Each structure stands twice: as C-alpha cells, then as structure tokens.
Amino acid sequence: MNFSDITGLVLAGGEGRRMGGADKGLQRLDGRPLAAWVLERLRPQVGQVLISANRNLERYREFGCPVIEDITPDSAGPLAGLQAAMKRITTPLLLSAPCDSPSLPVDLGLRLRAALDAAGADLAVPRAGARVHRAFCLTRCELLPRLDAFLAGGGRKLGLWHESLNTIEVDFDDQAEAFGNINSLADLDQAALARP
C-alpha cells in the first residue's frame, strides 16, 4: 500500500498535567525522548511527519520534522493539533498518534487505511477490547471545515467529534498492549522496568 498520501502527526501539544507539568514527549525512556520512539514507529507508515507542540519548539525541531503550534486558543487538546496539521498539509489523509505511546503498532496506518477505504468512512480509529483509542486516528482532511466549526462552537472532546462523523472502529485486540501510554512519572518508571 502506498503511504505517500498520508501525513503523520505526533501529538505533543498537551500540558502534561498528570506528569507534573512536564512536557511528555521530551521525557526519556531508555535514554531517548518518548517522541523519538513514536516517530520511529510512525515514520515508515506515512509519507511525511509533523509534530504538534506548543512549547519547547526548538527541541522538537531537533527531531528533523516540521513543528506546528495550535491555532485554536485555550488548550483545545488533540483536536487543535489535528486542525493545525490539516490547515498545513496537502495530503488527503492524516494519521495521528500521541507522543506518550512508544509501542504503537507498526501496522497502524495499514489497517486503519484498509478499513477506512472499505467502509468509505470519514475517520478510522483502533479499538482493543472495550476501549477505543481515539488519539490514534486516520482522518480525511476534507473534514477540516467541519472540525473548524466544531472547535469554534466550543467542542473539545475527541469522542464527541468522532460521534459526529462516519467513524469506523478497527479491531486491534491482537495488539492491545501497543496502545499503552505513559501519563505520569510513575508510568515512565514502570515502562522502563518492563522493557526487555
């Protein structure tokens, strides 16, 4: 499958509240920033990658890809990162992944794309067990006007945005652990201990 029409987006624009305000994407796991682990897995699945960040921009630029800031104010969350990316890119599809999930599936884009195309859906998200992992999504960029309107109307929740669209959930029960995320310094310590 050709991935040149997909842009990848690492979501690193959060405030890191559960990590004491630390910038999650720059926290180190096995000596490397979390964002570096995510980029390593995401890059082969897309034609190009952007990083959504709202602080430490120069440090994120050191990863060798464009860094974009939110254009919607008031900490609008991951949707603001999607919006900023969709306004900048020219590919028809955007694949996002949070910066705190270093083991994301290496076939995420492949499986989401196959399901999106088969269903003719607006957006595809992975589901493992009863949990839908909404920050990992493959989105058609033609939805930008609808996202603009959703954010302008005060919408902030990924789930509500997805419910407003023709969204397909894709079964990833075989890789449920791949969506594990690191929200706190305790999580980071545990992840380091669990690595081989």
Full-model pTM: 0.93
Which residue type is seen at 109?
G
Measured between alpha carbons, how far apart are the two ends of the chain, in Å? 31
Tens-digit pLDDT profile for the chain (196 aa)? 678 999 999 999 876 566 566 788 999 988 999 999 999 999 999 999 999 999 999 999 999 999 999 998 777 789 999 999 999 999 999 999 999 999 999 999 999 999 999 999 999 999 998 899 999 999 999 999 999 999 999 999 999 999 999 999 999 999 999 998 877 666 666 665 555 4
User: Exposed e or buried b for every residue in 32-57, given b needs 16+ CB within 10 A?
Assistant: ebbbbbbbebbbebbebbbbbbbeee
Helix (H, G, I), strand (E, B), or coil: what is residue 30?
A: coil
Q: Which of 87, 92, 70, 71 is nearest to 142 (CA)?
A: 92
Set out the domains of the chain in order of their start, with CATH numbers: 6-194 (3.90.550.10)
